[in-house]
Structure 1
């Protein structure tokens, strides 16, 4: 278990408990999906994409750049990193 994802998971859970809010409400506040919230609360070891990291920093009141994120966010123009051309 990596230290940074563990720190984020703990902070998100503690924030929700302190606020008395659900995953759904945190998703609404951050403009992220409930699946994204659950993923990062479960501490599966992946850093969030930059947009999610910024939204978490804002809601948690953390300084910008305090949550390490992935190198880039996928765009509509590029395939996901694990995709490959399939020929039939």
Structure 2
């Protein structure tokens, strides 16, 4: 199997640059030496895969095995992408306030698409996030609060109706 070490070098450097990291910062985040990062970014052909590659993958936010995928001609997969969160938000037609919130939000708690009480197909999309450093208990509390709010949103009254809709009409 042919391995493209230069491709891996470019991928690591590009991912590091995209995160605004220096080689020293990546080495510290991966708990490896700076020379390890320098060697990987040099593109030098090797007979064996360095045992430190999984640490580099983790520090770059790549899923395990991404380095091997790049060596084989593929692309790395980010942890965010594996959770369905990695989108190129800068290229959407979303308002900047929403783009910023989606990029910098905390842990994903839940999402929902709610049909609004109007004629036609008008929907609201909700993304619920907890704090980035939220504990499992904090996330559970956020989920419970969201469930209460979601029930209320699902039962909004029509504009010309003062009574909430039945939940199954949502």
**What range is the shorter-chain TM-score in?**
0.5 to 0.7
The structure number with the bigger radius of gyration is 2
Q: Distance in 2 between matches of 1:9 and 1:57?
A: 12
1:30 match:
30
CA distance change for structure 1 residues 38 and 63 in 2, over 3 Å: closer, same or farther?
A: same
Offset at 1:2? 4.1
* Structure 1 residues without counterparts, runs of 5 or longer: 69-88
* Structure 2 residues without counterparts, runs of 5 or longer: 69-170
1:49 match:
50
Q: Count residues with an aligned counterpart.
A: 66
Q: TM-score, normalised by structure 2?
A: 0.34
2:39 match:
39
The answer to whether residue 21 in structure 2 is matched with residue 18 in structure 1 is: no
Considering Cα pairs closer than 8 Å and 6+ residues apart, tell me whether 1 or 2 has the greater RCO: 1
User: After superposition, what is the alpha-carbon deviation per residue over 1:14-60, rounded to whole angstroms, capped at 9, x for unaligned?
Assistant: 1221122211111100111111100000100124422x111122123
Q: Distance in 1 between matches of 2:6 and 2:67?
A: 11
Q: TM-score, normalised by structure 1?
A: 0.61
Q: Distance in 1 between matches of 2:37 and 2:49?
A: 10
